[in-house]
Amino acid sequence: MPIDGYDEELRSEQRYVAGLYERLDAERVRAKERYAAALRGTGGELVDRDAEVRAEAKRMNRLDIADHGLCFGRLDSVSGERRYIGRIGLLDETNDYEPVLIDWRAPAARAFYVATGAHPEDMRRRRQFHTRGRRVLDFTDEVFGRPGDGERGDAALLAAVNAPRGDGMRDIVATIQAEQDDIIRSDHAGVLVVEGGPGTGKTVVALHRVAYLLYTHRDRMERHGVLVIGPNPAFLDHISRVLPSLGETNVVFMTTGDLVGGLHVTAHDEPEVARRKGSLAILEVLAAAVADRQQVPAEPLPIKLADVTVRIDAETAEWAIQEARDTGLPHNDARATFVDVITWVLTERAIARIGKGWLTGADKQAWEHLRAELLDELGDHDAFAAALDQLWPELTPQSLLAGLYESRDRLRAAGADESLWRAQGDAWTVSDVPLLDELVDLLGGIKPDLAAERERQEEAAYAAGVLDLMVAREDLMDDEDHLIASDLLHADELADRFAERDTREVAERAAADRDWTYGHVVVDEAQELSEMDWRVLMRRCPAKSFTVVGDLAQRRSAAGATSWEAVLQPYVPGRWVYRSLTVNYRTPAEIMAVASALLAEFAPGAQPPESVRACGVRPWSRPVDDDELASAIAEFVQDEAGRDGTSVVIGPPGVPGTVPPSETKGLEFDAVLVVDPGRILADGPRGAADLYVALTRATQRLGVLHRDPLPAVLHGLTELETVAGSD
């Protein structure tokens, strides 16, 4: 397009986009008015008014979020129709509500992502805008068929992938390619596995799929929310802006270490210990550990009552244990049966001895009176309570698991390997989280605090009094000013109404509730999850609706997945499908050539993704000694500080000024400096996968510093004498 024509077209597009923002502002005003009206609303049920207020608040939030990059492109069909594509949809109220902006998730926008020269989808042109704030700075056209002068089919994509990286992941909604869009819009209702090497956009695809599902299944997804599992907090912070930028907020971001609320992970397991904890075989250990706490006394336990001493012997305890286990209830819930059996045996024995010679079987009233006295005495008997706690204690997941780890005897009794022993039982690791979660179900709840229960009863009694008063005054009050008797079914229900109302968003309530079930779960870096991790996540999503993204070649965890079928088939037989991403949009060809040589060495069957671009800068290496290392790192950091974009220094654990490869999984940087690659390779059985991750984080520049001889597999690096020569 000639320069003059381009400038005029740019001004025209700016005018159109400015008009869209005027509509957005007007809709915001209307939304605020509706929200204010909902807050002032009178009449109707409180629940209905709350729902209306929340709905209007969400609507305002979506409109606010849409302000950035409201419109990012245009489609021109072969018939001359124009469709503008953006973050939300807008309608023209003055023209039969014709769409003036189409939501990117709508079917009418699909061609924006899937049209190619070979399959143009009846489209002539795809135009992508580059915007800042509310201004259209420029645009790039892709013409399907015969391009005009200066027009390229890949110009917009290359502009996006070559742009400097920011602190958080940029959504690429405007540059999603056809193979990615097919996955995003998949209608598969079960588990969708997306595998791809570094830079293929796995994470972006997964997050945009969530936005698409939230759009197409709004009611179900909004009620239950979406859970996103990532490998580390830095990664979650990196991606956390994507979904809000697309207008979606009912999403909970967690690592597997966050799945048990309030737990602080402070330690790390050795690979073999992590493997044992991550295996489903640990379920037998946990069940045995619970059973081990249901004990038979080695010697009879005397319980001294006012008139007689009775004993809890092994035979009685065995009977009570069996009766409690036969209920099928969790440990803490079955305790009531255990206590009932023990109490019945002791009272029968006490009655038989106390009443011998004067209490006849016909005197039922005397029998019952004596039994009641004995029950009251046992209820306040400290020694009896201590005996019950010894034989069938109430347990929390933390107390049981910590006690198991700290005792070699308990580990042997549970059939556990002694490698699980540790001096500080509650020095929790990530591998402990699914075990603690499992124990929540094995143990059940703990009897509520008596003081709290009394407070609840007092609230219910007060509510009952209020109910009587309101019913009595019903004929004296206006219908809109009171709750009629039909609304007040029970006093305890009224007490609940007096309690503080939960006004948190779905995401907040879900994150705080261990028993919350989600409408959909996204698992990123899924190759790192153990069998026990998967068990926890499947429990969180009964519908088994998952988007699973990962790369088996990048697995570093000894407990991680070796195949997707082994992980998923037990839970969703026949309900999971596999898709692969083959194009590397992030890593330039020069860097990928080095990483691919390493991949071929440690995972010869894996196919590296094909890079779509070159950066023109060869990755380099430089030998340094111990005295030079710190200054060489500082020189790299200083040099990168003067450039646009981001950078990172990656090294083995313990090297000052570096972060370990595991903390950079899923992240991307313009420039990466890898320190001591040989030591990364030697750091455990998955050292090669760690080095592969480190080498593939860069989008522009890669350098390597090595104190030991450079590993032969990195022969593709250009050897330099000084870091300054790396440019």
pLDDT tens-place string over residues 410-449: 999 999 999 999 999 999 999 999 999 999 999 998 765 4
Mean pLDDT (whole number) for 132-154: 70
- SS3 percent helix, strand, coil of the chain, rounded to 5, is 50, 15, 35
**Per-residue confidence at 231, pLDDT binned at 50, 70, 90?**
confident
What digits encode the pLDDT tens for the residues 234-269?
888 877 766 665 656 678 899 999 999 888 898 999
Give the pLDDT of residue 42.
58
pLDDT band at 116 (very low <50, low <70, confident <90, very high): low
Helix 282-292 to helix 433-443 angle (10° resolution) is 50
- The boundaries of every CATH 3.40.50.300 domain in the chain are 191-260+514-581, 589-719
Tell me what pLDDT residue 2 has.
Answer: 56
Residue 488 pLDDT exceeds 60: no
Overall pTM surpassing 0.75 (yes/no): no
* Binding-site entries for ATP: 196-203
| Over residues 43-54, mean pLDDT | 66
Residue 337 has a pLDDT of 97
Residue with tokens 């640990």: 282
**86-111 pLDDT per residue, tens:** 888 999 888 888 999 998 888 888 88
With tokens 């009977």, the residue in question is 319
Q: What is the pLDDT of residues 302-358, one digit of tens each?
A: 999 988 999 999 999 999 999 999 999 999 999 999 999 999 999 989 888 886 655
* Tally of helices (H runs) and strands (E runs) in the chain: 27, 21
User: What are the φ/ψ torsions at residue 61 (nearest 5 degrees)?
Assistant: -65, -45
Q: Which residue has the higher pLDDT, 107 or 701?
A: 701
| Contact assessment for residue 710 and residue 623, using Cβ atoms and an 8 Å cutoff | yes
Give the Cα separation of 287 and 476 in Å (integer).
Answer: 61
Listed residue (687, 688, 697) closest to 650, CA to CA: 697
DSSP code string of 548-616: EEE-GGG---TTS-S-HHHHHTTTSTT-EEEEEE-EESSS-HHHHHHHHHHHHHH-TTPPPPEES---S
- Taking alpha carbons only, the member of 109, 148, 108 closest to residue 128 is 109
For residue range 653-675, what is the model confidence (pLDDT) as tens digits? Answer: 889 999 999 889 878 899 999 99
Whole-number Å distance between alpha carbons of 232 and 80: 48
Q: Which two tokens stand for residue 565?
A: 């079928």
Question: What's the burial of 245, exposed, middle or buried (CB within 10 Å: 0-12/13-18/19+)?
Answer: buried
Which fold is adopted by the domain 191-260+514-581? Rossmann fold (3.40.50)
Higher pLDDT, 39 or 606: 606
- CA 323, 329, 330, 333 dihedral sign is negative
Contact 532, 275 (CB under 8 A): no
In the predicted model, is pLDDT for residue 492 greater than 60?
no
Q: If you average pLDDT over every residue of the chain, what do you get?
A: 83
Q: Rounded to whole angstroms, how far apart are CA atoms 209 and 341?
A: 55
Identify which has the larger pLDDT, 470 or 365. 365
Q: Which of 672, 670, 619, 622 is nearest to 643 (CA)?
A: 670
Note whether 106 and 58 are within 8 A (CB). Answer: no
Choice among 261-270, 555-564, 718-727 with the minimum mean pLDDT: 718-727
Q: Please, which pLDDT band fits residue 66 given cuts at 50, 70 and 90?
A: confident
Q: Which residues participate in the annotated binding site? A: 196-203
Identity of the residue numbered 600:
A
Terminal Cα-to-Cα distance of the chain (whole angstroms): 35
Q: How many CB atoms lie within 10 A of CB 621?
A: 21
> pLDDT at position 585, please?
81
Q: Is 54 exposed, middle or buried (0-12, 13-18, 19+ CB in 10 A)?
A: middle
For residue 43, what pLDDT is reported? 56
Model pLDDT, residue 486 = 39
Q: What are the C-alpha distances in Å from 567 to residues 104, 532, 538, 626, 652? A: 33, 10, 11, 44, 30
Quick one: how far is CA 472 from the chain centroid? 51
Kindly provide the residue ranges of all beta strands, DSSP E only, lying in 333-452, ordered along the sequence.
Answer: none
Percent of the chain with pLDDT over 90: 48
pLDDT bracket for residue 474 (50, 70, 90) = very low
Contact (Cβ atoms closer than 8 angstroms) between residue 14 and residue 68: no
Tokens standing for residue 476: 């004296």
Residue 370's pLDDT is 84
Cβ neighbours of residue 675 closer than 8 Å, sequence gap 6 or more: 629, 633, 649, 650, 651, 652, 655, 658, 704, 705, 706
Residue 163 has pLDDT above 60, yes or no: no
Q: What is the pLDDT of residue 683?
A: 83
Q: Which CATH class is domain 589-719?
A: alpha beta
